[in-house]
Amino acid sequence: MENIFQRKNLKFFIVAVLYVLVVIWIGNWLFLIGLGVIYDLYVSRKVNWTFWKRRDGKNSLFIEWLDALIFAVIAVTLINIFLFQNYKIPTGSMEKSLLIGDRLFVSKLAYGPRMPFTPLAFPFTQNTMPLTKGKSWSDIIHLPYTHLAGFGKVKNNDPVVFNFPEGDTVVVEDPIPLKLMFL
């Protein structure tokens, strides 16, 4: 019994230290509230955070797929915010090396990721919704600009991904057709 208790505390300690390091990197101390969630997940287990699943017994195949889908959406969203993200070249500004419609994978750790301006966004979209061509985010909640520290320096001839200038309608009104993605 003592070995299980120590292993549970060790896992909590490791995850809590990693979480605190991420909170320090982000610089928003309000996220320290998450330590209570981590404590409950690893030590006390009072709250059923996966309320759609049974704690004891076998779950249905649908519930297992739902759980995997929820995990995948959260994992990919966090990877896109903090680690790397794919982008599609919308204009001919890099014609000598990159063509319109080309895809890039951009490391966000090199120069530091930007925190999202709003937490209300449709996952897996960058600017527009696939079918409606409308905005893929909501401006109900608007957070200030926050840029996290990176682990590299900008060098000459590095391609840089940036937001369109305010009021530019290239992304919303004239999106690149999907057939160009596969050329």
User: 65, 111, 66, 67: which is closest to 85 by C-alpha?
Assistant: 111
Rounded to an integer, what distance in angstroms lies between the CA atom of residue 156 and that of residue 90?
A: 22
At 58 the pLDDT is 87
**pLDDT tens digit at each of 183 positions of the chain:** 556 557 778 889 999 999 999 999 888 888 899 999 999 988 888 888 887 887 777 888 998 899 899 899 889 888 888 888 888 887 777 777 888 888 888 888 888 888 888 778 877 776 777 777 788 888 888 878 888 888 888 888 777 777 666 655 555 554 444 333 333
At 35 the pLDDT is 93
At 72 the pLDDT is 92
Secondary element (H or E) of residue 107 = strand 103-107
